[in-house]
Amino acid sequence: MRKDNSMVVRRGQPVLFTARLNRDFDEEKDVIKLDLRYGNSPSLTDGSHIIVSKVESQTSYEWGLEFLSVDGGNVQMALHSPANAFIGRYKCAIYLQTGEEHCLDEEPDLIFICNPWNETDETFMHNSSSLDEYVLNEHGAIWRGTTQYSSPCMWNFGQFEEDILDVALHLIGNDPRVKGKKGLQKTRDPVWLSRILSAGANSSEGGVLTGNWSGDYDGGVSPVTWSGSVKILQQYWETKSDVKFGQCWVFSGVMTTLLRTIGIPARSVTNFASAHDTDNTMTIDDFVDEKNNEVKGLSS
d(CA 102, CA 121): 35
Residue 3 confidence (pLDDT): 82
d(CA 201, CA 192): 14
pLDDT band at 286 (very low <50, low <70, confident <90, very high): confident
The total of other beta-carbon atoms located within 10 Å of residue 239's CB is 9
Cα–Cα distance for residue pair 129/142, rounded to 1 Å: 19
- Per residue in 27-72, pLDDT tens? 888 899 999 999 988 999 999 999 999 987 666 568 999 999 999 9
* C-alpha radius of gyration, the chain, whole number: 24
Which residue intervals of the chain are DSSP H helices?
Answer: 128-131, 164-174, 180-184, 190-200, 230-239, 248-261
Residues in CB range of 78: below 8 A, 6 or more apart: 14, 15, 16, 17, 65, 66, 68
Q: What is the mean pLDDT of residues 269-285?
A: 79
pTM of the entire structure? 0.88
Q: What is the pLDDT of residues 228-244, one digit of tens each?
A: 999 999 999 999 999 99
The DSSP bridge pattern shows strands 101-113 and 7-10 to be parallel
Please give the pLDDT value at position 298: 80
